[in-house]
Amino acid sequence: MWAALWLLCAGAWLLSARATTELTVNAIEKFHFKSWMTQHQKTYSSVEYNYRLKTFANNWRKIHAHNQRNHTFKMGLNQFSDMTFAEIKRKYLWSEPQNCSATKGNYLRGTGPLPPSMDWRKKGNFVSAVKNQGSCGSCWTFSTTGALESAVAIASGKMLSLAEQQLVDCAQNFNNHGCEGGLPSQAFEYILYNKGIMGEDTYPYRGKDGHCKFDPQKAIAFVKDVANITLNDEKAMVEAVALYNPVSFAFEVTDDFMLYQKGIYSSTSCHKTPDKVNHAVLAVGYGEKDGIPYWIVKNSWGTNWGDKGYFLIERGKNMCGLAACASYPIPQV
């Protein structure tokens, strides 16, 4: 069985490698690849080196072709630049549909005027630092803890660092799947009914599935209720971020997003249906630039990705399904 599985994986890798064998890499691309390797502390076997070099060169050309056209965002090199999108999907994104349309909306939208822009990072110590999920597809846990950390800070003035690993290990009964994916709305429900979540210091992140080690005596944050935004009601998301709290949401990542560097991300290749979402993030604000409204979003791929770990994405069009399953927690403080 294991031999067959190894052969299957090896075959898939060889097929990917053959897809890039015809690419001729020039001296400038080789120079930048070696510089990139040094920056990211990468080493390869002699066989893998040529494959990674050609993959990098392909991404390099994609970046330059994109940046020469009239797009609202720029691409750039990052930690994913030696990988194909197929590899990235297997390693960093959700591997199965999350059915976020099952989220029942209970958020009641008001009618009052809202500020034209909002950024919780500028309001005080209300947004925790950008973290890195690693190769575990646990973005949903970072979106969850980020929203709850903000909610507690807004309500009490105290910033906490909460345990993503507890959610990876313990929240399966709430239709979450550890490194295989999950939804913040369901994770908030888990914390509510579990009666708390521990801190990062007592339940450190390991970036892989493990056995649940929750200790109720060490819980430091609690959820009183969960506000689920009505399916596709992006205006309600704006109101929630403007008046109450940063909002967790999921959307579909496609290949051009992985190399995002700055600007307002927009895509014509992604879907807008809730069954296609594969990544969860945290909206910490919104604004408008050159007539294009946008969300300010905190990611979980470290500060070397995007704009110091953040990105902007076009607002008002349910871009890539971002309004399909948005939610935020109401803390018990």
Given the residues 299, 318, 320, 325, the one annotated as active site: 299
- Number of other CB atoms surrounding residue 182 within 10 Å: 29
pTM above 0.85, yes or no: yes
Position 101 pLDDT exceeds 70? no
- Count CB-CB contacts under 10 A for residue 122: 11
Choose, from 78, 176, 278, 279, the residue flagged as catalytic: 279
Q: Is the pLDDT of residue 94 over 90?
A: no
CATH 3.40.50.720 fits 88-331, yes or no: no
Following DSSP, what letter does each residue of 222-265 receive, concatenated? Answer: -EEEEEEPPTT-HHHHHHHHHHT--EEEEE---HHHHTEEEEEE
Q: Which amino acid is at 242?
A: A
Instruction: Please give the Cα distance from 300 to 172 (Å, whole number).
Output: 21
Helices and strands: H and E segment counts in the chain:
9, 11
Strand, helix or coil at 298?
strand
Per-residue model confidence as pLDDT tens digits over 253-276:
999 999 999 999 999 999 998 889
Confidence band of 3 (pLDDT split at 50, 70, 90): very low
The arithmetic mean of pLDDT across residues 106-133, rounded, is 91
- The per-residue pLDDT for 138 is 94
Lowest mean pLDDT among 68-72, 172-176, 284-288: 172-176
Set 139, 179, 270, 320: catalytic member: 139
Mean pLDDT of the 222-235 span: 92
Q: Indicate the pLDDT class of residue 99, thresholds 50, 70 and 90.
A: low
Q: In whole angstroms, what is the distance from residue 324 CA to residue 282 CA?
A: 14
Give yes or no for a contact between 145 and 287, defined as CB atoms under 8 angstroms apart: no
pLDDT at 2: 43
**Among 327, 311, 323, which Cα is nearest to 72's?**
311
Average pLDDT, the chain: 91
Burial class of residue 46 (count of CB atoms within 10 Å of its CB; 0-12, 13-18, 19+): exposed
- Candidate from 81-85, 93-97, 148-152, 309-313 with smallest mean pLDDT: 93-97
Does the annotation mark 58 as catalytic? no
Condensed to tens digits (0 to 9), the pLDDT of residues 279-291 reads: 999 999 999 999 9
Q: What is the DSSP letter of 301?
A: B
Has residue 211 got a pLDDT over 70? yes
What confidence score (pLDDT) does residue 257 get? Answer: 97
Please report, rounded to a whole number, the percentage of residues in the chain having pLDDT higher than 70: 90
- Annotation marks residue 139 as catalytic: yes
Please report the pLDDT score of residue 275 as a whole number: 87
Question: Phi-psi bin for 320: left (phi > 0), alpha (psi -120 to 50), beta?
Answer: left
CB-based burial, 267-302: b 16+ in 10 Å, e otherwise: beebebebebbbbbbbbbbbbeeeeebbbbbbbbbb
From CA 47, how far away is CA 69, in angstroms rounded? 35
Average pLDDT for 319-332:
95
Domain coordinates of the chain in residue numbers? 27-35+42-70, 88-331
Confidence of residue 110 (pLDDT cuts 50, 70, 90): confident
HSE at residue 28, side-chain half, CA atoms within 13 A, is 3
